[in-house]
Structure 1
Amino acid sequence: MSSYRELARTPGVARIIAAQLTARFPSGMVSLGILIHVEHLTHSYGAAGTVLAAMSIGQAVAGPITSRWMGRWGMRPVLSLLTLIYAAAITVVAVVALPVPVLVALGLIAGLATPPVQSAVRTIYPKLVNSRQLTALYSLDASLQEIIWVVAPVLVTFLALQVSSVLALLVIAVVALAGGAWFIFSPEVGRVRIPRSRAAFGRVLRKPTVLLTTAIGLMFIGSAAAVEAGIVAAFGEGGVESGLVLAAYALGSLAGGLGSGGIPMRPSSTARRLCIVTLGTALTLIMVDNPWWLALALFIAGVGFAPALAAMLAGTSASVKFSETAEAYGWINTGQLIGAALGSMAAGFAIDGTGPTGAYLVSIAMIVVATVIAAVFYRGFPDLRHRDASPMPDTEQLPVIA
């Protein structure tokens, strides 16, 4: 834990982590908020699902593009404009009764305008701490994001079902604006300038680590989405058991991420850590209806979750030029979004056919594929045992910290 104490004493670290978590908090609320609101408005889960699908498509398409824009026009202008458009789209959905096609269009706009805060902050990290602190910072980032996925869904569900779905969406818009402003106007965001990339759009995917992390992330996050769908199907959306099991998953991830922050990363680290996730996910099949067993199984899976994500993030950082980092993380986020959509869809069909067990089988299949890819192509990840995770310098133009 000494590495985390050192991080806490580093100027700006606590502030930027808190600000980015707040700015990203709506991402854990918006799907459920829109689902409940549009269903209340149209009395159709199909319509609600269509709006959500449009938003997901927008996010997946825009991720690499808006992340790359930050190197062309600067982080603050890009994040400010997108945050305003995103909040405006959510607000219109909340307060105006509109036909489904218009709601779908607004969902697409909200997806396209989702601020790339995750790409921005992970681009800032290498300029915020010294090189030996960077691995621990990526582990801390991967761990603390679990707060979003535990607290946000509970909050938005309570607001939407117990108070008003309109209020829930307005809260999302307000948090997006307030959290976005806190992050955008943080001194660290103003001090770091991303050099404009001279490479063609998408060329960063030729980097083996970026391509591997995108592919692995697709299957990895898809597996998590599938097992979560299975848990909800088994115990119900509002069941205490669902909350218990999913909280255990997040708690395991938090514990694993914090515990692995000081462990040096080798090329095989991603595969090793994914093996833990695979083991825990496979254990769900032993007692598929026992919430206590499932909580234990997913706690074990969670222990490998954040560490595996941290290994991929650190490996990506060390494998690209600084000017390419934002776009690289944009592609990785897009892969994860696609994976979540595919995992949820496949799990849904499996649940219709064989019940929650089908979703667990989908999850196991996807995490096994992710682990196999990481193990077979492990040489595509850098060896960080004797070096730091700092990005490679740009020969044309170095980043400036004023």
Structure 2
Amino acid sequence: MIAAQLTARFPNGMTSLALLLFIEHVTGSYGAAGLVLAATSVGQAIAGPVTSRWMGVWGMRRVLTTTLVICALSITTIALVPMALAGYMALGAVAGLSTPPVQSAVRTIYPKMVNSRQLTPLFSLDASLQEIIWIVAPVVITLVATQVGTVQALLLIVVILIGGGSWFILSPEVGRVRIPRSRRSLGKVLTKAPVLLATVIGFLLIGACSAVEAGVVATFGHGGLEAGIVLAVFSIGSLAGGLTFGHIPIGRWAMARRLAVVTVGLSFTMISLNVWWIGGTLILAGIGIAPALAVIFAMTSASVKFSETPEAFGWIGTGQLIGAAAGSAIAGFLIDGVGPQGAYWAATAFAFVGFAVAVLFVRGFPDLRHRDAAPIPDTAPIGTVPS
């Protein structure tokens, strides 16, 4: 299941960078590329809780298959049909709206695969191993885009999207797990403080990462592999952090400590644009990322009923994707205005605000040091026989 979902989500580590390179190549503007990325991310953000909730109505496989087909067709059209910027933005939005909700699906399945004591370590392992996507994918897509072509890079994404998505959809667990229909209205789950905090923190953390991605591409350009390698180094730091610290019990201050590491590392990127310096500082910043994501996943799962988990994780994904949109757009315009260093300023600001939120609202984070992260069981009225 872990291998299938990682493969299905592999395009997530390629699409933003491929679109950035493709649109900048076509239009000559990082600002234009940022707008297309923003449209794509906003589409994903809108779809996240909706398509995730649909899985409890129509089933995982039907929703995943339908969205997979539409998303693949949209990216193929972007790659092969020349159009104005507005057209690229529109199709980017469609691709975003139809992104298969694999992340919500697999994190809903996990509590049914392991016992409650194993769930928090599984979330930590998942958050760590997903960094393989961010280590390998940027290098692969940068190599294809710079050495073969940006069109071919987008078509490669379509091939992996179809292959990995099909593998995940056909996994026995996807057909076996049945999600109860949620009895609460859309958005009600956000009234729970841990879910709302996880959504806000995810927005800020991924906004920082997205700004870094744009900054690295702008710093090292399209002419070599430096951009992909530096982004891979960033993810190696996250993978190392997750595997090293992911087993530590999650208390109320866990998020603040992990975001402090990210903030300090990103603040150092503003000192120099030398490839070795940027790589070293991003390794430091990356150490806190996977552990912070593990906190987000565990605190969300532990705070909602099983029937609400798809929508809750959908909102988490929405927060992250809006963060990606904001980070890409702000970084793109700062790059056009003041140069690549502007993107690192934006990344540091996003991370610092996330750290501040974690400190100011620390009481809203659950203490999971002496409890598991399993969802709250769904309950229903039980009929009784009169005596």
Q: TM-score, normalised by structure 2?
A: 0.91
Q: Which residue of 2 aligns with 1:400?
A: none
Q: Which residue of 2 aligns with 1:178?
A: 163
What pairs with 1:21-170 in structure 2 (closer than 5 Å)?
21-37=6-22, 50-97=35-82, 101-170=86-155
Quote the sequence identity (%). 62
Opposite residue 183 of structure 2, the aligned amino acid is R
Alignment pair present for 1:349 and 2:306:
no
Farther-moved stretch of structure 1 (52-61 vs 102-111) = 102-111
Residue pair 2:237, 2:282 contacting (<8 A) in 1 also: yes
Alignment pair present for 1:394 and 2:359:
no
51 and 121 in structure 1: CA distance in 2 versus 1, 3 angstrom threshold: same
**2:287 pairs with one of 303, 310, 320:** 303
Structure 1 residue 236: Cα displacement: 2.6
104 and 347 in structure 1: CA distance in 2 versus 1, 3 angstrom threshold: closer
Structure 1 residue 260: Cα displacement: 1.9
Opposite residue 345 of structure 1, the aligned amino acid is A
Opposite residue 248 of structure 1, the aligned amino acid is V
Distance 2:346 2:91 in 1: 32
Structure 1 residue 358: Cα displacement: 3.0
Residue pair 1:150, 1:247 contacting (<8 A) in 2 also: yes
359 and 31 in structure 1: CA distance in 2 versus 1, 3 angstrom threshold: closer
Distance 1:34 1:220 in 2: 21
Structure 1 residue 97: Cα displacement: 4.5
**1:327 pairs with one of 308, 311, 317:** 311
Count of residues paired in the alignment? 381
Residue pair 2:215, 2:335 contacting (<8 A) in 1 also: yes
Structure 1 residue 176: Cα displacement: 1.2
Distance 1:362 1:259 in 2: 28
1:137-172 CA distance string (max 9 Å, x none): 111111111222222233233333433444333322
Q: Secondary structure at the match of 1:82?
A: helix
95 and 223 in structure 1: CA distance in 2 versus 1, 3 angstrom threshold: closer
Q: Which residue of 1 aligns with 2:359?
A: 375
Distance 1:66 1:266 in 2: 32
Residue pair 1:41, 1:97 contacting (<8 A) in 2 also: no
Q: Which residue of 2 aligns with 1:7?
A: none
What pairs with 1:7-18 in structure 2 (closer than 5 Å)?
16-18=1-3
Distance 2:121 2:272 in 1: 35
Distance 2:85 2:260 in 1: 43
Residue pair 1:212, 1:380 contacting (<8 A) in 2 also: yes
Q: Secondary structure at the match of 2:375?
A: coil
Structure 1 residue 271: Cα displacement: 1.0
Opposite residue 368 of structure 2, the aligned amino acid is L
Farther-moved stretch of structure 1 (33-42 vs 203-212) = 33-42
1:86-107 CA distance string (max 9 Å, x none): 1122233334455655444332
Structure 1 residue 79: Cα displacement: 0.4
Structure 1 residue 228: Cα displacement: 3.1
Distance 2:63 2:325 in 1: 26
Q: CA RMSD in A?
A: 2.3
Q: Secondary structure at the match of 1:319?
A: coil
**1:200 pairs with one of 161, 165, 185:** 185
Structure 1 residue 198: Cα displacement: 0.5
Structure 1 residue 246: Cα displacement: 2.4
**1:291 pairs with one of 265, 272, 275:** 275
Residue pair 1:131, 1:390 contacting (<8 A) in 2 also: yes
Residue pair 2:136, 2:232 contacting (<8 A) in 1 also: no
Distance 1:53 1:328 in 2: 22
Unpaired runs of at least 5, structure 2: 382-387
Structure 1 residue 48: Cα displacement: 5.3
Distance 1:174 1:376 in 2: 45
53 and 300 in structure 1: CA distance in 2 versus 1, 3 angstrom threshold: closer
Farther-moved stretch of structure 1 (262-271 vs 358-367) = 358-367
Q: Which residue of 2 aligns with 1:9?
A: none
Q: Which residue of 1 aligns with 2:385?
A: none
Q: Which residue of 1 aligns with 2:196?
A: 211
Distance 2:235 2:227 in 1: 12
Distance 1:237 1:261 in 2: 35
Farther-moved stretch of structure 1 (247-256 vs 355-364) = 355-364
